[in-house]
């Protein structure tokens, strides 16, 4: 079974709209079509970002999904920090989770992870690519 790490933008997009690929990915995870690896720092990031009022995310949906993630994702401990490798510190957190769990990264911001594939053998995928891969 494929294992992925979701960049925070996938969670935000999936919670803001049920019409896009990010929402479909969350549904597919619930349906056990693939696994998601998650570290504690990345989980905290999900909570912090989705809590922002400006995003106008339904608090019940947020709580339900994030609690589901906490119980059903592959808990991943970071054994080695690769920082600073990427410009955005939060992207480094996603990368470290992927490396530690031997997973691929799903993001809307592929350009932020350009050097990762060649250096770490971690694939960087857009949500639509994962939908195609896991259908």
**CATH number of the domain enclosing 97:** 3.40.50.1010
Digits of tens for pLDDT over the chain (135 positions)?
899 999 999 999 999 999 999 999 999 999 999 999 999 999 999 999 999 998 999 999 999 999 999 999 999 998 766 667 777 777 899 999 999 999 999 999 999 998 898 899 899 999 999 999 988
What does the DSSP 8-state code read for residue 55? G
Structural domain containing residue 28: 3-133
| Terminal alpha carbon distance of the chain | 12
Distance CA 84, CA 53 (A): 30
Cα–Cα distances in Å, from 120 out to 16, 18, 77, 98, 130? 31, 33, 17, 10, 19
Domain count, the chain: 1
């Amino acid at each position: 079974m494929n294992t992925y790490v979701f960049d925070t933008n996938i969670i935000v997009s999936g919670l803001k709209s049920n019409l896009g690929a990010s929402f479909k990915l969350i549904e597919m995870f619930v349906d056990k079509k693939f696994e998601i690896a998650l570290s504690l720092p990345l989980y905290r990031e999900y909570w912090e970002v989705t809590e922002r009022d400006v995003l106008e995310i339904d608090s019940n949906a947020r709580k339900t999904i994030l609690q589901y993630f906490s119980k059903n994702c592959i808990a991943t401990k970071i054994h080695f920090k690769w920082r600073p490798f990427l410009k955005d510190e939060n992207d480094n957190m996603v990368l470290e989770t992927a490396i530690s769990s031997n997973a691929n990264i799903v993001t809307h911001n592929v350009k932020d992870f350009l050097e990762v594939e060649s250096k770490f053998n971690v694939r960087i995928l857009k949500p639509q690519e994962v939908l195609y891969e896991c259908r």
